[in-house]
Chains A and B, each alone.
Chain A
Amino acid sequence: MNARQILLTIAFLVTAMTSDLFAQGFAGLGSTAEGGFAVPTRGSTLAFPRDHGAHPNYRVEWWYITANLEGADGRTYGVQWTLFRSAFAPGNADGWADPQIWIGHAAITTVDRHYVAEKLGRGGTGQAGVELAPFEAWIDDWSMKQSLDERGDPLSQIDLNASGKEFRYQLTLSARTPLVLQGDKGYSVKSAKGQASYYYSQPFYEVRGSLSISGKAVQVSGKAWLDREWSSQPLADDQTGWDWFSLHLPSGDKIMAFRLRDDASGFVSANWITADGETRPLTRDDITIEPLQFAKVEGRDIPVVWRIHVPGQQLDITTKPLNEQAWMKTSTPYWEGPITFSGSATGVGYLEMTGY
C-alpha cells in the first residue's frame, strides 16, 4: 500500500469514525444508554455556572453558537461556532487515557460562499475541553471564553474566536436577559418514546466583532444564539435526522422549533420565548413546520424554503436561506446556515438540517 492509498484510507477513516461518533448525536443511538452513561431525568434542576461545564458521564454534549451579522460593508453574514463532546466511556481519566473526544466546527456564510473548518482532539491532554472559572470552552486555538470583566453569569458576556484556511473571526457576545431553559425546566423531550436531553439556550446575545475572509477584514454586529445540550440517548431508533430553527422576531421575541424526522409523521417541538425571557412551550398542535422548496446541495435534495405557522400567535412566515449551499463539509456533513423570513413578520434566524 503506497503513501497515497494510506492517506486516502486515513482520511476516509477519520470521516467514518467521526460519523460514528456523530451518529450518537444525530441518530441511531439505542433507546437505552449502554456503557454506564447517565440518562437525563425529568425534574432535575439545572444549576449555573456548574452546568455550563462538561458532563462527562453523558455520551454527547455541545456548546453551539450561531450569529446573524451585518457587516460595515453592508453585506450579511452568518457565523457558526460549535464544540462537540463525544465519549467512548463515561467519566474522565488522566492524560491520553481520557475517553472524551472533542470536535470543533466553525463556519462563515456569505451570500456566495460558505467557509467551513473542523478540528478534532482528545480530552485529558489540555488540547480541548471546558473549564468553569473563568469559563472557557476550547479546542486548539479556537475558544469561547468569558469576558474577564463580567461578574454575573459567566456566559452573559463571552469572546468567541475561530479560524479556518481562508477565514477567521473574533466576536464579543453579550446578553442582559437570563438563560432560557428549554422543554420542562431544561428537560427537552426528543421523541414520543421519551428520549430526552438537557437543553438550555441564550437567544438574546448582541454581537460586535470582526470577520476576516481571504485576508479582508470587516467589522460586524448583530444577534447570536447559544444552545447547550447534553444527553446519552437524544434520539429514538427510528429517527433519521432533524430540522432545527432559531428565529429572532422583530418584537424581540424568539422562537426555537425543531422537527425530528422518522418513518412516520415525526416529532415536533417548539418554544416561544418572549423578549423578557418567558417561555411558552408549543406542541405539534400549536405549530406547523413544512418544507416548501428543495435545492440540490452536494448531490442531495435539501429543503431550503420552509413555512412556519403558529396560529395561536398569528405567525405565518416563509424562511429562505442566505446561501442555499450552506453545507458543512465536515466529517459528518450537514446543512447549517443563516436564514431570513418574511410573511406575518420579518427577521433573521438560523437553520440546521441533519440526516439528509
Chain B
Amino acid sequence: MSGIAFWALISHWRRKPLQFATLILGVALATALWTGVQAINAEARASYARAASVLEQNELTQLVPRDGAVIPIATYARLRRDGWAVSPVIEGEYRVGTIRLRLIGIDPLTAPPGTGVSPIGNGKDLVDFISVKGRLIVSPTTARALQGKVDIALNVSDSLPDNAAFADISVADRLLQRKGSVTRLVVSPGRKISAAALSAIDPELQIREAGEQPDVARLTDSFHLNLTAFGFLSFIVGLFIVYAATGLSLEQRRATFRTLRAVGVSLRSLVAMLIFELTLFALASGVIGVVAGYFLATALMPGVASSLRGLYGAAVPGVVTLRPEWWVSGLAIAMIGTAMASANNFLQIWRMPILVAAQAQAWARMSVFALRAQAIVGAALLCLAAILIEVGSGLITGFTVLGCLLLGCALLLPSVLSLVLGLIARRSAEPLTKWFWADTRLQMPGLSMALMALLLALSANIGVGTMVSSFRTTFLGWLDQRLAAELYVTARDETEASRLRQWLPGRVKAVLPIWNVEGQVLGQSLQIFGVADDATYRDEWPVLVGTDNVWEEVTAGRGALINEQLWRGKKLFVGQPLALPNGLNVVIAGVYSDYGNPAGQVIIGIKTLERYFPEVSKLRYGLRVDPMREETVRNLLVHEFGLPATSIVDQAALKRQSRAVFEQTFLVTGALNVLTLAVAGFAMFSSLLTLSAVRLPQLAPVWAMGLRRRDLAIAELARTLALWTATFVAAIPLGLGLAWVLLTIINVEAFGWRLPMQIFPLDWLRLGAIALLAALVSMAIPVWRLATLLPAQLLTVFANER
C-alpha cells in the first residue's frame, strides 16, 4: 500500500463532499439509533437487576409459601431451631397519602451479608434502625416525597430504587399489620437446601432458587424487545444508505482504479487501501454515532422511565450514564454494518478485469436473476409469517412474524414495482410516455434499496400509529367506564375511615369501597378487590365475558371476576373454580378488561372480602354524587368532615393522570418513529443523489433528441413521485398487517390484553404528506442539478468514453 496511491484514492472525497457526508452520516445515524436504543435498554435492565438484588435479594435462594399467603412466625422459629440459616423478610405495599411504597422489612441480625441496607454510618445507626421506633431507608427522591408525611425518621441511600423503603422487620410488621407472619425467607449463601428436608418441616414452603429473573425484568422484556426492534429497523435502513454511498464511490472511482492498476498497484494492495479507507470512515462515523446515540438516549430516557413506571411500576432512573461497553459495541456495530453493506461492492472490484471499460451503473444494475431470487426469498418469508401466525405463540414468535412480514414485503417490493412498471410501459402508446416508464423501470434496481427502506419506515409508522391510536381510543373509553365514581377519597387511618363510613350515607348517592388485599392466587401474588352491590358496577364495569348474572354471583360470594390479563395468562374459563387465599373458594363468573396493569387481579364481593380477609385496609372509597353537587360534597368533606383536600381526588383529575401516563408511554415510540422516517428520508436522498450523478449517459440521448432540460427535470420529479406513491400505497396494507400483529399477537403476549383494531386514514394522510415533503426535499438537489446542467456537460457524454 503506497501513500501516494492512497492519497489519489482518497482525493475522490474532496471532490464529492456531499457523497462523503452521506456515507459518514449514514453510518453515524444507524449507529446512533442502535446504540441509543441499546443504551436505554441497558440502563433499564441494570436498574431492574439492581432493584432485584437490593429489593428481592434474587441472588439468594429463598423459601416462599405455596399458594395462600404467608409464613407463620413459628415456622421461622422452627427452621432456625433446626439449624437452617434463614432470615425473614416482610414485604408489602405501604401507602403514605398518595405514595405507594414497596416496604421491605429485613432482620439485620440474621440477614446474610450482602442483603441490603447500606446508608447507615455506624453501629448507633443500626441500633436506631432495629430499635422500637425504627428507620425507613429510602432513595433521595422518595425521601423528598415522604418528608413530613411519616413519623419515622428517614435515612437516604442511593442504592435503593424510588418508591421502595427498607425497614427493620419489626417496623414493617407494624406498618403492614402483619402480626408476625413473614413474606419469605432468605437462605444464607452456600447453604444447601434439600426439598425433602424442607417439606418434612413445612410442606407449605417451597424453594425459589437463586438467580431467577426479576419479575419486573420479565414483564418489561416485551417493551425492550420493542425498542430493540425499532433500533434494528433503523440500523437496517442506515445500512441501505451506506450501501448506496460506497457503491457509488466505487463506481465513480473505477477510472481511478484502472489507472492505479495500470501504473502497477496490485489488486490486493488496491483492495487493502479501500478497506483501510472504509474502516477509517466507519470508525469516525461510529464515534459520531455513539456520541449521538448517547444524546438520543439521554433525551428519550425520561420518557422511557415514566413509561416503565406507568406500565409496569418499574422504577428506572431517567438518566443515562455513558458506559465503556457502548463504545465497543457502537464501534463494532458501525464496522460490521459498513462491512456488510459494502462487501458486495468490494467483491465486484475484486472480480473486475484489469483493463475492462467501466460500465455505467454496473454497481446499481441488479440482474434479473438477483431480482427474482430476492422476490423468492421475500415470498418465502411471507409464507413463513403466515405459518407462524397459525401455529406459533409467544412474544418471540410475534416479533418473528413482524420481521418476516416487513422483510418479506420489502424484498418483494422491487420485483412487484418492476412488474407493474413493465406492464404500464407496454400499454402506453406515446413514445415519450413509454420512455418515461421504461426509464423508471431501469432506475428501479438503483433505487430499490432506498424504496425498501422507505417502505419499512412508512409501514412501521402506519403500523405503530394504528396500534397507538387504537389503544388510545379503547383506553379512553375504558377509563370512562372504569372511573365511574365522581369523587375518590382516602382516609388517613381506620378511625377516620370508620367516621367516613358513618358520615357519608345520606350525603352522597352511593359509597363504593375500594378495598384490596394482596394474596397468592395460582402461584402469583396479585390484588384481590372487593366490590359493593351497586348499580354503578352493573351499568358501567367493562365486562368482556361472563355469566348472565355475574354481579349477583359476585355479591353472593360464590363468584369472582378476574381481569383479562389473568384470564389470558393462565388460560382460565368462566365457570372454572378458583382457590383464593384463606381457604376462600369461588367460581370465575366473568372477565373484565384492565388496561395499564401488568398483573392479574381478582374481584369478589365486599362482604366476602371482609369475612375472609378481616385485616383488609378500609381507607379508600369512590363516591357517587350528583354531578351538580360534586363541588358541594367536596366542600362538605373538607370543611364539615375535616378531610384534607389532598385526600380527595375527582374523576376528571384521575382521568387526566391516567391519560398522562398513557401519552408518556407512547412518547418514545413516537420519537423513534420520527427518527426512523428521517433515516429513510435520508436514504432516499442519498440514493437519488447517487442516481442523478450516474444517469447522465441515459439522459443525454433523450436531451439530444430534443427534450428540454426543464422537461427532463420534470420527468425526473414525476418519476420519483410515482415511485414514492407506489411505495406509500404498498406501505398501507403492510402497515395495517403490522398493526394487526402488534395488537393481536404482541400486545396479548406482552401486556396480557387484546385491543380492537381501529383504522385512522387521516393519520395516513398526515404521514403521507410528511413523507412526500421528505421525498421532495430529497429530490431538490438532484433535480436542480439536472435543470441547470450545462449543455456542454450533456454533450461530453457523447465525446466521452462513457
Contact = CB atoms under 8 A, between A and B. Distances in A.
Given A6-B114, A96-B170, A140-B81, A13 B126 contact: yes
Given A20-B124, A88-B131, A141-B81, A122 B107 contact: yes
Contacts of A15: 123
B110 A89 contact: no
Interface in A128-180: 138, 140-141, 163
Interface string A1-30: 101111101110111111111000000000
A97 interface: yes
A17 B127 contact: yes
Contacts of A311: none
A94 interface: yes
A252 interface: no
Contact of B114 (A3, A16, A126): A3
A17 B126 contact: yes
A249 interface: no
B609 to A, nearest CB: 25
A20 B53 CA distance: 29
Given A11-B113, A20-B127, A97-B170, A5 B118 contact: yes
B766 to A, nearest CB: 49
A6 B109 contact: no
Given A95-B173, A126-B77, A127-B80, A9 B118 contact: yes
B166 to A, nearest CB: 11
B156 to A, nearest CB: 12
A3 B108 CA distance: 16
A96 B109 contact: no
Nearest to A88: B131
B180 A95 contact: yes
B4 interface: no
B83 A10 contact: no
Interface in B102-118: 105, 107-111, 113-118
A10 B110 CA distance: 11
Given A7-B114, A10-B108, A120-B109, A19 B173 contact: no
Contacts of B124: 16, 20
B209 interface: no
A125 B79 CA distance: 12
A97 B132 contact: yes
Among the interface residues A19, A89, A127, which one has the most CB atoms of the partner chain B within 10 A? A127
A92 to B, nearest CB: 12
Contact of B127 (A3, A21, A122): A21
B693 interface: no
Given A10-B108, A10-B114, A97-B132, A16 B126 contact: yes
A17 B82 CA distance: 26
Contacts of A347: none
Contacts of B159: 1, 6
Nearest to A4: B114
B215 interface: no
Nearest to B76: A125
A101 interface: yes
Interface string B468-479: 000000000000
Contacts, number: 119
Given A10-B115, A15-B123, A1 B158 contact: yes
Contacts of A95: 73, 170, 173, 179-180
B498 to A, nearest CB: 24
A172 to B, nearest CB: 20
A333 interface: no
B174 interface: yes
Contacts of B173: 95-97
Among the interface residues B115, B122, B123, which one has the most CB atoms of the partner chain A within 10 A? B123
Contacts of B123: 13, 15-20
B161 to A, nearest CB: 13
Given A1-B118, A1-B158, A5-B118, A14 B109 contact: yes
A99 interface: yes
B125 interface: yes
A138 B81 contact: yes
A58 B144 CA distance: 39
Given A95-B179, A140-B80, A17 B130 contact: yes
B707 interface: no
B672 interface: no
A94 B180 contact: yes
Interface in B148-163: 157-159
A9 B115 CA distance: 10
Nearest to A10: B113
A18 B130 CA distance: 11
A15 B82 CA distance: 25
B497 interface: no
A130 to B, nearest CB: 14
A7 B111 CA distance: 11
Contacts of A127: 76-77, 80-81, 110
B88 to A, nearest CB: 8
Interface string A180-191: 000000000000
Nearest to B106: A10
Contacts of A266: none
Contact of A16 (B73, B117, B122): B122
A122 B78 CA distance: 14
A71 interface: no
Contacts of A10: 108, 111, 113-118
Contacts of B73: 95-96, 125-126
A120 B110 contact: yes
Contacts of B131: 88-89, 99
B120 interface: yes
Nearest to A11: B113
A121 interface: yes
Contacts of A138: 81
Contacts of B81: 126-127, 138, 140-141
5 contacts: A1-B118, A1-B158, A14-B109, A96-B73, A121-B110
Given A9-B118, A96-B170, 16 more contacts: A5-B118, A6-B54, A6-B116, A10-B117, A13-B120, A88-B131, A94-B180, A96-B73, A96-B107, A96-B169, A97-B173, A121-B80, A126-B74, A126-B76, A126-B77, A140-B80
9 closest Cβ pairs, A-B complex: A16-B123, A126-B77, A95-B180, A7-B114, A141-B83, A120-B109, A96-B170, A17-B126, A20-B123
Interface of A: 1, 3-7, 9-11, 13-21, 88-89, 94-99, 101, 120-122, 125-127, 138, 140-141, 163
Interface of B: 53-54, 59, 73-74, 76-78, 80-83, 90, 105, 107-111, 113-118, 120, 122-127, 130-132, 157-159, 169-170, 173-174, 179-180
